[in-house]
Homo-oligomer: A and B are copies of this chain.
Amino acid sequence: MDAAEFRKRGKEMVDYVADYLEKIEKRQVFPDVEPGYLRPLIADSAPQDPESFEDVFKDIEKIIMPGVTHWHSPYFFAYFPAASSFPALLADMLCGGIGCVGFSWAASPACTELETVMLDWLGKMVNLPEEFLAGKHGQGGGVIQGSASEATLIALLAARTKTIRWVQSENPELTEAEIMGRLVAYASDQAHSSVERAALIGAVKIKSVPSDDTFSVCGSALKKVLDEDKAAGLIPFFFCATLGTTPCCSFDKLLELGNIWMHIDAAYAGSAFICPEFRHLLNGVEFADSFNFNPHKWLLVNFDCSAMWVKKRSDLIGAFKLEPLYLQHHHQESGLVTDYRHWQIPLGRRFRSLKLWFVLRLYGVRGLQEHIRKHVRLSHQFEHLVLQDERFEVCAEVVLGLVCFRLKGSNELNEALLKSINDAKKIHLVPCHLREKFVLRFAICSRTVESTHIKFAWQHISQLATDLLKTWEQNHHQQ
C-alpha cells in the first residue's frame, strides 16, 4: 500500500470510525459469541500473497464486531470508563504517523519535552504541589505510564531501592537479602489487585490494612499496623493509598509517614480533581512521594495514558539507571534533559503526550470539567432512582461516577439479578464484593451517555428485579 492508497483507505477508515461511534447505541453492548468463536472464521495461517483491502475491510463487520464489547456504548456501565474522544483519536493518528520511539531525549526531543510540559499542565489542573512539577529546573516531574499498575510497580521498586540504601547506610552489616526479607508494603483491603501484584513482582511482603465502615483506610488503622510491624523488627517502606477504590470509589486518608514512601493511586478518581469542588479529596497529597491517575479513564484521552508524578525524579532514575553506549547521547549529562526510559518498565515509548495536548487544547479545562460534572450528575440521578425503590439499597457513598447497589436480600439473589441483567445484554455491569456482600457496580462510562440512558437502565433493572423476585419467591415457597 502506497501513500496514495493510504489517503483513500485512511479516509474510509475515518468515516468507518465516525459511523461506528455515532451509531454505537444501536449495537448490542455485550457480544453473543462463545469462547473460540473467532478461529473457525479465519484462515489457519497468514496468506502467502497480499489480500485486497476490500476483503480485510469487510471482515471488520463480519469477524471482529460480533466479538466486541462496546466500551463506548451509552449502555456500558461496567468496570470504570475507558476514555475516548475525537481529538485524542486525531492525535493518535499523528503519533502513529511520526512513529518515533522516545526512550531518550535525543531519540526525539519533541516527544520527551512535550510530555514534560503536558504533565506540568495536568499537574496544575489538579493543583498538585509545586514539588511534583518539572518546571524549568525542578527535582520533580511527570511521566506518562501505560497503566496505573505500572505506576504502582515503579513507585514500589523505587521505594524498595531507596529504603535498602538507607537501611544499609545505617546498618552496614546487613545484606541486601536480609533487608529485603524485612521490607513490608501496605495497602487498603479495598486496594486494586495490581498493588498486591507489584509486591509479588518486587518480591516484598505486602499487608492489607483494614478499611473502616466507609471502606477507607484511616490514619489510626495504618499506624496500628505499622507500629506492630516495626516492633516485630520489620521495615515498613511503602504505602499505596487509593483515592477512588475500584469496588466502590472510597478514599483513603493521606498521611505524613516519615521514611515510608506514600504512593497515591487515583487511577479513576484523579480526573475529577480538575473540578474545584472535588479537589479536597486530594488534600494530603503534599505528604506523598508519588501520585498517579489515568486520563485514559476519565479525561477523554484514549488508552493508554496514565499520568504519574514524583517529587524526586532521582528516586526513580536511581532505581534503574543503566546506560549502554548505544543509548547515550551528547546532552544527557547536561542536567537539562529527561531520558524517560529510566522512569518506566519498558524501554520504548510512543508519542503519547500528543493526545494530552490535543485534548486539553480542544476541550479546554472547562470542557473537561463539564464532562466530569455530567458523569457525577448522572450517577446521582441513578442513585436517586435506586433510593426511591424500597427493594434496593445503595451500598456506599456516591462521591463521583460510581453507584454500588443491590437488592435487599441474599448474595444469591443479587448474583441472579446481575446474571439476568447481563444475559439480557441491553446494558452491561460488573459486580464487586463489599465485605461479605455481593454488590452491583453501576459506573457512568460513555462520553455520550445521557439522562435518558440512565432512566432506561434503571427501568430495565427494575423490571428484571420484579421478574426475578416473582420466580425467586415461588421457588422459595416450593422449597
Residues of A within 8 A of B (CB): 1-7, 9-11, 13-18, 20-22, 31, 33-39, 42, 45-51, 53, 55-56, 60, 63-72, 79, 82, 84-90, 92-94, 96-101, 105-111, 113-114, 116-117, 120-122, 124-125, 136, 146-150, 153, 157, 160, 177, 180-181, 192-194, 196-197, 200-203, 246-247, 296, 302-304, 319-320, 322-327, 331, 334, 336-337, 345-348, 350, 354, 357-358, 360-367, 430-433, 438, 441
Contacts and interface: CB of A to CB of B under 8 A. Distances in A.
Contact of A100 (B56, B71, B324, B326): B71
A48 B153 CA distance: 34
A358 B46 contact: no
- Determine which residue in A11, A110, A433 has the highest number of CB atoms from chain B within 10 A of its CB, and name it: A110
A150 to B, nearest CB: 6
A372 to B, nearest CB: 14
* Chain A contact residues: helix, strand, loop or mixed: helix
Contact of A363 (B50, B55, B60, B97): B50
A39 B109 CA distance: 12
B65 A110 contact: yes
A430 B329 CA distance: 9
Nearest to A153: B345
A348 B93 contact: no
A320 B193 CA distance: 10
Given A46-B124, A67-B113, 14 more contacts: A3-B22, A17-B94, A35-B331, A36-B113, A47-B365, A48-B364, A49-B367, A50-B362, A67-B108, A68-B108, A89-B96, A147-B347, A197-B320, A325-B431
Given A194-B347, A322-B193, A97 B16 contact: yes
B99 A72 contact: yes
Contacts of A68: 98, 100, 108-111
A6 B18 contact: yes
Contacts of A358: 56
B13 A93 contact: yes
A354 B431 CA distance: 30
Given A35-B109, A109-B33, A347-B147, A10 B18 contact: yes
Nearest to A51: B361
A48 B177 contact: no
B99 A82 contact: yes
A51 B3 contact: no
A107 to B, nearest CB: 6
A86 B5 contact: yes
A94 B6 contact: no
A14 B22 contact: no
A247 B32 CA distance: 50
Given A16-B94, A109-B31, A246-B324, A1 B100 contact: no
A14 B14 contact: yes
A51 B361 CA distance: 6
A191 B120 CA distance: 36
Contacts of A107: 69, 79
B85 A10 contact: no
Contacts of A433: 325
17 contacts: A9-B86, A13-B90, A14-B14, A20-B97, A34-B331, A35-B113, A35-B334, A39-B136, A46-B364, A50-B362, A56-B361, A67-B113, A71-B99, A92-B96, A146-B146, A147-B347, A296-B348
Given A99-B82, A201-B201, A362-B53, A109 B46 contact: no
A450 to B, nearest CB: 14
A347 B433 CA distance: 20
A153 B7 CA distance: 39
A431 B330 CA distance: 12
Given A177-B180, A320-B197, A350-B304, A326 B431 contact: yes
A117 B22 CA distance: 30
B16 A7 contact: no
Nearest to A161: B200
B97 A2 contact: no
A113 B64 CA distance: 10
A192 B39 CA distance: 36
Contact of A364 (B49, B111, B196): B49
Contacts of A180: 177, 180, 203
B6 A14 contact: yes
Given A113-B38, A177-B180, A201-B201, A303 B64 contact: no
